[in-house]
Every structure is written in structure tokens, then in C-alpha cells.
């Protein structure tokens, strides 16, 4: 009995010593009380080395928990991470409203330009309604190309297209095996889909699919700086903890220009070449392209409404994508549409600011009241293109920081007709020789 | 030193181990009870003697953060917290600018560019009987 008591006492002491030893090994908590929440959180105890995600989301103001969720007071990693939203990606559409939403953040009123989540979630890139409608029409599952189904069910914020809602696409309810095969083999390219395996496809889902460029794989030259260094005007840092509006074309190509659908096998066939030179082998061998198609980034021309949607549901990319050559170059009889900035609260200023701020770089593009910028036929400001006093135009590369100048069609030797706005019409005279 | 019987030795060893365990447990309890939660953010800032801020003072108080002004009408202060999402605004020639989302305010704190839609908050400044200047954020 006495020996047992002695052994129990020794074990008790040993257990207490182990507990104290473990406690002493824990890092000293680093407390942060973000301005927005006013509640202390200890995430920086382990994550103090993470860079600021963007100038628009400073950790002193936002903290970590507001966006990522998690147990703010926990010092044990498993416990702290147990209630995170979306794992490493709080912008996945399944959790984005809780992570990024709010009237003053990204799900506010359209009039305040704060309806980002609503627009993105109803965009054709998110619903994939165009591809689904096209496929179901091809195989006789619906009588026309009007979208009825999306990746998820959704109501339209507005109905510019006449489509007020989409039901969820459920492959199990499809009778045609080709449609089921499509669902199994081809649904890689919408914003909620996990990407294919491989660096060239690497991206997040939701907002971060575009706004958190993965620069850990070799970029396709020309890139601002070699891999491993801070990207200059391009802004985005190597690694994932980045939010930027300065999105390089390489990120768009994580989905676009990565292969083709094979309608015989109903599979997605990825490109088997991995382009390393944008000019030399990025485009398909037979493809023609103009200088602006290979020197600019996609976001330099395509507008926020085209890419992120305008709140309406569409049946095809063509219904929302409307930028044409004439938008910037005009026609034989008309100069491109312009607007002189008179209101310091103009959307153009906000977009220019966010490109710099969210891009984490010092911009060389400074808009001023009195500047004349281009606008699209729908009135969207092309804030990165302005009219120069000599009648030429200057474009600022949103992701590269480069400056380009170009001429309007009117008054030049170009004879392009107003209705010739397809890329091949430009290629007749302006195709780049490889 | 008297011989220690085996029984007494075991008893002494057991009691010693229990005493050490008790001390460790007591230490843990004291540490637990002594835990200090993070103090709430202060709302009253003693800026020192008012005489240290002569007429014409236009000084940023970074700890608040706020801009203290001493003009002909007396002391006044503007919060430097952006009314949009709480970033600290920077003073510029034309007023104030938020480095996070680009909101702009004129020198009086009125919004000139969104996304902020409320003016900068004016803070209360008072001089106490002992001549100290106090700035209140609530």
C-alpha cells in the first residue's frame, strides 16, 4: 500500500512537471486588437512572419479572425484553426459572405460599388451557365441556349438578360450519358471548382482564384521580375497571402488557354506543352495575334463588369463581354468615347487607387481632376487609358506598370470598318510575326 | 543522525513528492488566477500641460490617433480614424487621405471622396484644473 502511494505521488509530480515543461515551451502570446473588431486575438503568435495581405486590409485594422474565422484566443494550432472559414481560403463562395461580406466591405449596395460578392457569384465564370446550357442544348436536354442551370442555384440581382434565376445543375438528373460525362470530366474551370493538378493550373477558388495570384510556379515571360523576387509594378508577391487587383494574365490562364474540350470523349484535354515564352510559344502554332494581345494583361482591357459580372445572369460569355477594338481605337468616323473627370469621387479614381493599393505597389499612374479618360459604350471608366494633348492615347498596364501609347483609327492609315471588330479583322494588317 | 527506517524513508519520500506536487499545483493556480486579460483601449488621453500646446499648434497625436489643433477658437481635435473601416488616415495638403481604400476628407473632416460616407469624428478636448489637456475618444 505504501509503495503504491509513493508511486502515485511520484507519478503525480511527474505529470505536473510535464505540464509545466510543455507550458514553458509555448511561445509567448502576441496579442493584437484590430480596430474593426476591438477583440484581442493571438494569431500573430505563430503568424507574425506573414506579409500584409494588401494595403487595403492592414492587419492592425482587420486582424486575422474577421476574414479567416478561427479561435482567436487559442494558442494550440489545431484548436485555433478548427473553426476557420474555407480552410486557407476564406473567399471560397461557400463562405465568402461571412468572410468578406458586409455593407462597408464586399456585399454592400451597388450604388456604393460594394456589391462585389453578389456580382461575382452571379457572373458567368461562377455559374458556368453558358457551358452547361450549351452542352445540354447540344445533347437535346433543353430546347435552346438560354441558361436554366448553374453550378449552384442563384437569383439574379437584376435581370438585364431576362434570366431571373438559375437552378442547380445536378448531373445525376441528366439522362444523357454525355452530359453526365461532362460533369465528371470537364467541370474544372468555374470559380468553385478545384483546379486540375499541376502548377500551371494552380489557383484558389472563389475571389482568390483571381485576386490571390499564385506566383510560385515559373511565370511566363515577360514578367516584371524573376521568380523569387518581389514583383515590381506587378505588385503581387510570390506566395499565397496576397490580395491584388493587379492581376497578371498568367493567373487568368490558370483556366483560360489551358486546353480544349474533346466532344468525342467528353473530356477536357489539357495542353501538353507548357509555354515558357509568351511571344514564341504561348499561342497555338496557327494562331495570329496583335501586339496588344501579347503585351497587355487581360485586365488592361476587360472591365470589372465583364470579368466579375454586373449582377445579371447570362447564358453566354458573349453576352457580358463587350470590349472591342473600337472601344479603345474608335472607328474611321468616330474617336473612342472619352470622359473628362470632374468629380473627385468618380469611380475612376477609386479603381485607380485600388489597383495601386490592393496591388501593393507605387503606381506611376496618377489621375487628376481634369484628365480625360476612355469609357466604354456602357459607360464603364477605362481609368488606365487617357487622352494625351497630342490626340494619342496612353495606357497604363495595371499588372506590369508599363506605359503604352496608341493611335485612334480615325486619321490614321487604318481602314478597318466599324463592323469589323473581330480579332481576325485586326490580324489582317497587325498580326505579330513570330 | 538517527537511522531512518525503510518505512520512515518511504513516508518521507511520499510526503516530499506530495508537497512538491502541491507547490506546483498551487503555482499553477496562482498563475491561473493572476491571468491578466488585455486591457480595454483607453478613451482618456492626458496630453500634458495645455501650455505646451501654444496657439497655432497643429500636432498629430499618434497614440490616439488624432490631430490636435489650437487656434483662435481654442483647442479642438479630429480623430485620424477613417470612418469607412477604421484605418488611420494621413494628413495631406488638401485634407486627409486614407491609405487603405482611398477615402479623402477636407481639412474640416468632411468627405470629398468615398468609400467613406461619414465625416471624420471630432473629439472632445478639455483642460483640467491642474492645467492638463485631456483628449477623449468617447
The H-or-E segment that residue B122 falls in is strand B122-127
Q: What is the mean pLDDT of chain A?
A: 85
Residue A358 — very low, low, confident or very high, per pLDDT cuts 50/70/90?
low
Q: What is the ipTM metric for this complex? A: 0.75
Determine, for residues A344 and B112 on separate chains, whether the beta-carbon distance falls below 8 Å.
yes
Q: What is the mean pLDDT of residues A74-91?
A: 92
CB distance from A368 to chain B under 8 Å?
A: no
Residue B37 has a pLDDT of 75
A152/A291: higher pLDDT = A152
Q: Contact A350/B24, CB-based, under 8 Å? A: no
Q: What is the per-residue pLDDT across A312-344, written as a single tens digit (0 to 9) for each? A: 999 999 999 999 999 999 999 999 999 999 998
Q: Are residues B86 and B131 in the same domain?
A: yes
Which residue in chain A is spatially nearest to B21 when comparing CA positions? Answer: A13
Nearest to A55 by CA among A202, A245, A189, A220: A245
Report the pLDDT value the prediction gives residue A347, as an integer from 0 to 100.
Answer: 92
Maximum alpha-carbon separation in chain B: 92
Q: H/E element holding B127?
A: strand B122-127
- Tell if the CB–CB gap between B101 and A114 is shorter than 8 Å: no
**B24/B3 same-domain check:** yes
Strand A149-150, strand A165-168: pairing: parallel
Say how far apart CA A312 and CA A320 lie, in whole Å.
9
Mean pLDDT of A342-365: 80
Same domain, B130 and B92: yes
Please indicate, yes or no, whether residues B67 and B117 belong to a single structural domain of this protein: yes
* Structural domain of B18: 1-35
Q: Residues B135, B48: contact at Cβ < 8 Å?
A: no
Q: What SS3 class is residue B95? A: strand
Report the distance separating Cα B11 and Cα A426, nearest Å: 99
- Evaluate if residue A28 carries a pLDDT over 80: yes
pLDDT at A414: 86
- Verify that B2 and B62 share a domain, yes or no: no
The whole-angstrom separation of Cα A171 and Cα A183 is 6
Q: How big is chain B by its Cα radius of gyration, in Å?
A: 29
Which CATH number covers residue B91? 2.102.10.10
Considering the domain architecture, whether residues B50 and B31 belong to the same structural domain is answered as no
Q: What is the mean pLDDT of residues A35-53?
A: 90
Instruction: Specify whether B108 is located in the same domain as B68.
Output: yes
Q: Do B114 and B90 share a structural domain?
A: yes
Which residues of B fall within a CB distance of 8 Å from A20? 24, 28
pLDDT at A361: 59
Q: H-helix or E-strand containing A347?
A: helix A347-357
pLDDT at residue A122, rounded to an integer: 95
pLDDT, one tens digit per residue, over A122-158 is: 999 999 999 999 999 999 999 999 999 999 999 987 7
pLDDT of res. A232: 35
Q: What is the pLDDT of residue A230?
A: 41
Predicted confidence (pLDDT) at residue A25 exceeds the cutoff of 80: no
CB A100 within 8 A of CB A67: yes
User: In this structure, are B103 and B71 located in the same domain?
Assistant: yes
How far away is chain A from the Cα of B57, in angstroms, using its nearest Cα? Answer: 27
Mean pLDDT of the region A44-49: 89
Among candidates B17, B87, B104 on the partner chain, residue whose Cβ is nearest the Cβ of A9: B17
A368 contacts in chain B (CB < 8 Å): none
pLDDT tens series, chain B, 138 aa? 567 788 888 888 888 888 888 888 888 888 888 877 777 788 888 988 888 988 888 899 998 899 999 999 999 999 999 999 999 999 988 899 999 998 999 999 999 988 898 999 999 999 998 989 999 988
Q: Are residues B20 and B53 in the same domain?
A: no
What is the predicted pLDDT for the residue at A384? 95
pLDDT in tens, A232-285: 333 334 456 888 888 888 888 888 877 777 877 777 788 777 666 777 767 766
The count of domains in chain B is 2
pLDDT of res. A26: 75
pLDDT at A354: 86
CB contact under 8 A, B85 and A17: no
CA B121-B126-B128 angle, 5° bins:
160
pLDDT tens column, A404-431 = 999 999 988 888 888 888 888 888 888 8
Interface of A with B in 26-85 (CB under 8 A): 31, 33, 35-36, 38, 40, 55-58, 61-62
Whole-number pLDDT of residue B67: 92
Same domain as B117, residue B72: yes
pLDDT tens per residue, range A201-235 = 888 999 999 998 865 544 433 333 333 344 433 33
Of B25, B37, B100, the CB nearest to A56: B100
Q: What is the pLDDT of residue A221?
A: 38
Q: How many residues does chain B have?
A: 138
**Which pLDDT value is given to residue A241?**
83
Of A9, A31, A58, the CB nearest to B21: A9
Indicate if B57 and B102 belong to the same structural domain: yes
Give the single-character DSSP code of A387.
Answer: E
Residue A45's pLDDT band (boundaries 50, 70, 90)? very high
What is the per-residue pLDDT for A111? 87
Between the two ends of chain A, the Cα-to-Cα distance in Å is 92
Amino acid at each position: 500500500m505504501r509503495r503504491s502511494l509513493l508511486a502515485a505521488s511520484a507519478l503525480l509530480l511527474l505529470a505536473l512537471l510535464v505540464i509545466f515543461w510543455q507550458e514553458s515551451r509555448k511561445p509567448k502570446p502576441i496579442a493584437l486588437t484590430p480596430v474593426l473588431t476591438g477583440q484581442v486575438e493571438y494569431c500573430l503568435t505563430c503568424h507574425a512572419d506573414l506579409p500584409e495581405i494588401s494595403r487595403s486590409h492592414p492587419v492592425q485594422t482587420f486582424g486575422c479572425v474577421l476574414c479567416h474565422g478561427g479561435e482567436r484566443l487559442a494558442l494550440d494550432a489545431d484548436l485555433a484553426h478548427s473553426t476557420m472559414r474555407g480552410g486557407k481560403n476564406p473567399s471560397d463562395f461557400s463562405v465568402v459572405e461571412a468572410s468578406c461580406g458586409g455593407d462597408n466591405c464586399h456585399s454592400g449596395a451597388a450604388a456604393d460599388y460594394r456589391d462585389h460578392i453578389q456580382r461575382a457569384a452571379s457572373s458567368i465564370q461562377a455559374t458556368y451557365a453558358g457551358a452547361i446550357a450549351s452542352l445540354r442544348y447540344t445533347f437535346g436536354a433543353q430546347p435552346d441556349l438560354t441558361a436554366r442551370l448553374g453550378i449552384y442555384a442563384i437569383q439574379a440581382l437584376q435581370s438585364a438578360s431576362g434570366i431571373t434565376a438559375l437552378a442547380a445543375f445536378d448531373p445525376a438528373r441528366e439522362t444523357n450519358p454525355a452530359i453526365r460525362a461532362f460533369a465528371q470530366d470537364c467541370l474544372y474551370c468555374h470559380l468553385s471548382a478545384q483546379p486540375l493538378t499541376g502548377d500551371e493550373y494552380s489557383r484558389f477558388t472563389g475571389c482568390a482564384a483571381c485576386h490571390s495570384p499564385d506566383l510560385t510556379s515559373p511565370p511566363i515571360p515577360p514578367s516584371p521580375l524573376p521568380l523569387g523576387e518581389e514583383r515590381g509594378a506587378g505588385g503581387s508577391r510570390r506566395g499565397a497571402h496576397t490580395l491584388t487587383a493587379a492581376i497578371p494574365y498568367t493567373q487568368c490562364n490558370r483556366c483560360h488557354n489551358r486546353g480544349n474540350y474533346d466532344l468525342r470523349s467528353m473530356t477536357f484535354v489539357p495542353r501538353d506543352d507548357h509555354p515558357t515564352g509568351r511571344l514564341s510559344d504561348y499561342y497555338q502554332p496557327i494562331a495570329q495575334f496583335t501586339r496588344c494581345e501579347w503585351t497587355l494583361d487581360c485586365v488592361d482591357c476587360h472591365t470589372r463588369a465583364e470579368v466579375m459580372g454586373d449582377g445579371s445572369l447570362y447564358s453566354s460569355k458573349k453576352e457580358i463581354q463587350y470590349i472591342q477594338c473600337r472601344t479603345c481605337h474608335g472607328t474611321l468616323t468616330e474617336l473612342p468615347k472619352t470622359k473628362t473627370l470632374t468629380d473627385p469621387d468618380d469611380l475612376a479614381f477609386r479603381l485607380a487607387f485600388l489597383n495601386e493599393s490592393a496591388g501593393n505597389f507605387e503606381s506611376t499612374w496618377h489621375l487628376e481632376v481634369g484628365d480625360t479618360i476612355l469609357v466604354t459604350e456602357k459607360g464603364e471608366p477605362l481609368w488606365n487609358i487617357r487622352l494625351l494633348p497630342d490626340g494619342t492615347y496612353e495606357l497604363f498596364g495595371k499588372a506590369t506598370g508599363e506605359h503604352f501609347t496608341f493611335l485612334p483609327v480615325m486619321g490614321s492609315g487604318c481602314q478597318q470598318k466599324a463592323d469589323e471588330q473581330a480579332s481576325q479583322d485586326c490580324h489582317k494588317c497587325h498580326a505579330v510575326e513570330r | 543522525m538517527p537511522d531512518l527506517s525503510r518505512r520512515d524513508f518511504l513516508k518521507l519520500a511520499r510526503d516530499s513528492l506530495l508537497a512538491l506536487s502541491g507547490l506546483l499545483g498551487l503555482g499553477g493556480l496562482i498563475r491561473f488566477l493572476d491571468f491578466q486579460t488585455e486591457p480595454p483601449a483607453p478613451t482618456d488621453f492626458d496630453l500634458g500641460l495645455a501650455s505646451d500646446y501654444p496657439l497655432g499648434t497643429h500636432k498629430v497625436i499618434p497614440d490616439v490617433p488624432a490631430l490636435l489643433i489650437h487656434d483662435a477658437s481654442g483647442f479642438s481635435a479630429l480623430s485620424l480614424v477613417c470612418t469607412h473601416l477604421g484605418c488611420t488616415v494621413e494628413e495631406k495638403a488638401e485634407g486627409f487621405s486614407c491609405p487603405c481604400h482611398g477615402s479623402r476628407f477636407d481639412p474640416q473632416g468632411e468627405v470629398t471622396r468615398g468609400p467613406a460616407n461619414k465625416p471624420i469624428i471630432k473629439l472632445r478636448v478639455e483642460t483640467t484644473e491642474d492645467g492638463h489637456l485631456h483628449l477623449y475618444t468617447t
